[in-house]
Amino acid sequence: MTTLSQALETCDMLLIDGLHAFAFTFNDTGLQIECMDGRARKTWSFSPEQITAARADGQDWLIAADSAEHRLVCMSAFSASDENEDDDETPADDAVDR
């Protein structure tokens, strides 16, 4: 069974309460999340104990803070490759110039 800590170690992006959070820090001191909701900057901070106590709800995680419970979704961001894969290809022998 995967824990929230394991999921956080492998994700690139989080959704927290439906908001995309590209800026987050997860280490042995806990989880800090920052995102923008329109013009408002929102931040969350979770202790290691809160992360350990988080419970899975399908692909989501429910984590309790001091004042409310939050829904986290750990996601992997897509990124383009730095290498141009077409450089390794050679033209087909049967190509015809017209």
Look at residue 6 in the predicted model and tell me its pLDDT.
93
Residue 69 lies in a domain: yes
Residue 66 located in a structural domain: yes
CATH of the domain at 45: 2.30.29.190
Q: Quick check: is 59 in a domain? A: yes
- Could you list the residue range(s) of the whole structural domain that residue 27 is in? 4-75
Residue 80 resides in a domain: no
Examine residue 85 and state whether it is found in any structural domain, yes or no: no
**DSSP per-residue codes, 5-26:** HHHHHH-SEEEETTEEE-EEEE
Q: What is the pLDDT of residue 22?
A: 75
Closest CA to 25 of 36, 12, 38: 12
**Domain assignment present for 8:** yes
> Could you tell me how many residues make up the chain?
98
57 domain residue, yes or no: yes
pLDDT of residue 98: 46
Q: Residue 18's beta-bridge partner residues?
A: none
Give residue-wise pLDDT tens across range 21-58: 878 999 999 999 999 888 999 999 999 999 999 999 99
Residue 47 lies in a domain: yes
Q: What is the pLDDT of residues 59-92, one digit of tens each?
A: 999 999 888 999 999 998 666 665 655 555 555 5
pTM of the prediction?
0.74
Q: How many domains does the chain have?
A: 1
Confidence at residue 31, expressed as pLDDT on a 0 to 100 scale: 96
